[in-house]
Structure 1
Amino acid sequence: MTALIAPQAAVVGGSVVAFANGVQASQREDIYMSTAFAQNATRAALQDGLVGDWFTYYRNVLRVIGWDVPKPTALTPSGARMAGQAVQGIETVIGEAYSEPVRRALLAMERNTSALKLFEDTSLRGNVGYFQMIPCLPSGPNKVQMGIYHRQFQVRQQVSGFLFGGNPAIIHNSVEQIAVITFNTLHYAQFREKVKKSVVSGSLKYLSSLDI
């Protein structure tokens, strides 16, 4: 596990993670591994019937491995496509510096059929969907400023392409939330090897790089 897993942007299961210039490769890997670990744990708990609220459980797993994720802010969905709503919501609440890496990652994802399929297959469970957009900005040698945008929704019928198009009438019970954190890599160091070992030994099939 010596080679870094640190593309500039990637689909990580049901998350799109995108970095602005200046975030170190080692920091990018830490964030990829952390969010993959949290998603894997949340999916397993969901299958075992242990999850009441998906995003709350996911945030709690991140806290266990050293993240400080505050209570999120609720957003009001607009009439735009889900991808556009995510970018708009991020820009409105925390600014263009955060929304721009996500916008570029989504443009790349729309052209990447394998990454898009991975995202959609992981995000949807029956008629319920969950996904995250995670833009990351540099904040000194040991810190990264991050936003975590979460969307939860239900679909009235089986659907593909829900992120970039489709009939909005089939989407209902939709909730958008966003939280902003400072990720401290020095604090995370005590969890790093355990998290990476768990993710890599389990499988990296949930990670697909995006060319932005």
Structure 2
Amino acid sequence: MTNVSDVQATVVAGSLAVFLPGVSAADREDILLGNLFAQVTAREEYAEGLVPDWFANYRRKLSFLGWDAAPPPGVALPGPDRVGVKLNALAQIKQYGSAALAAATGNALDALAREPQALDLFDVSMRHGTQAHLQFMPCVRHSGDYFDMVLYHMETVVDRTWNARTLLYNPVVAHIDYSKSRLQLVRFNLRLFRDQHKQRVQARLQGKATSFLRNLNLTAPGSP
């Protein structure tokens, strides 16, 4: 079983990235950088009305950066209904990824609930007008410069009374259509990203990446 103290997790705008042991700090930084670039540019183009499908555009941008994403084999079914986005996501991550990835993501979501500043960042970043687009991305090293991830995406209509805490943790939120959740299995070629795209991505973000990132403390209060 993976020790929770060995798992790292970061809110990166409207995504929660979770890293199992074996992903170095430098690797985490570049994985987060690519994800943030895809989110920021997809958000801008969606707001300008250039693309109607936020997730498809976000996925295309990740693919260009070296993320080879595909839906899981067979028919990806939604997780349990009316249990809140958190448990819906964990059920799918466990089914199509692994129990270890689901457990690490669950620990990260628990930590997110304890950290108001990180939750506020997630809340502001996931909103696109009356739509919310959010991702969970547990990640593990495959081999060498290749990393495997399960990318869970949920989109839903939100109103001003909702916030990220309501959406993630309230099991009785009305009007959530769990069939809107989408899952992708990803293999990321980090060497390709570094050799061909990293410099341009850094220039595009203009050093603003840190304002979109919040590292989480996964150790629960009172834990040894």
Q: TM-score, normalised by structure 2?
A: 0.84
Deviation of 1:8 after TM superposition, in Å, equals 2.1
Instruction: Tell me if the contact between 1:127 and 1:158 (Cα under 8 Å) persists in the aligned partners.
Output: no
Deviation of 1:202 after TM superposition, in Å, equals 3.8
The runs of 5 or more residues in structure 2 that have no matched partner are 1-6, 219-224
- Taking the aligned partners of 2:117 and 2:125, their CA distance within structure 1 comes to 12
* Closer/same/farther in 2, CA of residues 147 and 166 from structure 1, 3 Å limit: closer
Q: Secondary structure at the match of 1:114?
A: helix
Asked if residue 33 in structure 1 is aligned to residue 33 in structure 2, the reply is yes
Correspondent of 1:194 among 167, 186, 200: 200
Asked if residue 180 in structure 1 is aligned to residue 185 in structure 2, the reply is yes
User: Which digits, 9 at most, give the CA deviation of each residue in 1:29-84, with x for residues without a partner?
Assistant: 11100010000000110111012111100011112222222246643242211111
The runs of 5 or more residues in structure 1 that have no matched partner are 1-6
- Taking the aligned partners of 2:86 and 2:120, their CA distance within structure 1 comes to 15
Residue 96 of structure 2: aligned partner: 93
Q: Out of 131-140 and 189-198, give the one that drifted further.
A: 189-198
Q: Secondary structure at the match of 2:188?
A: strand
After superposition, where does 1:39-188 map in structure 2 within 5 Å? 39-71=39-71, 74-77=76-79, 78-155=81-158, 158-160=161-163, 161=165, 162-165=167-170, 167-172=172-177, 175-188=180-193
After superposition, where does 1:14-33 map in structure 2 within 5 Å? 14-33=14-33
Residue 209 of structure 1: aligned partner: 215
Q: Secondary structure at the match of 1:133?
A: strand
* Closer/same/farther in 2, CA of residues 19 and 173 from structure 1, 3 Å limit: closer
Residue 4 of structure 2: aligned partner: none
Instruction: Tell me if the contact between 1:109 and 1:210 (Cα under 8 Å) persists in the aligned partners.
Output: yes
Q: Secondary structure at the match of 2:211?
A: coil
Q: Secondary structure at the match of 1:18?
A: strand
- Taking the aligned partners of 1:79 and 1:164, their CA distance within structure 2 comes to 11
Q: Which amino acid counterpart does residue 118 of structure 2 have in structure 1?
A: A
Deviation of 1:203 after TM superposition, in Å, equals 4.4
Deviation of 1:200 after TM superposition, in Å, equals 4.6
- Taking the aligned partners of 1:203 and 1:19, their CA distance within structure 2 comes to 18
**C-alpha RMSD of the superposition:** 2.0
* Closer/same/farther in 2, CA of residues 173 and 97 from structure 1, 3 Å limit: closer
Instruction: Tell me if the contact between 2:66 and 2:190 (Cα under 8 Å) persists in the aligned partners.
Output: no
Instruction: Give the total of aligned pairs.
Output: 206
User: Which digits, 9 at most, give the CA deviation of each residue in 1:159-203, with x for residues without a partner?
Assistant: 122211274224347511111121111222221222133335344
User: Which digits, 9 at most, give the CA deviation of each residue in 1:122-154, with x for residues without a partner?
Assistant: 112332111000000112221111111100111
Q: Secondary structure at the match of 1:171?
A: coil
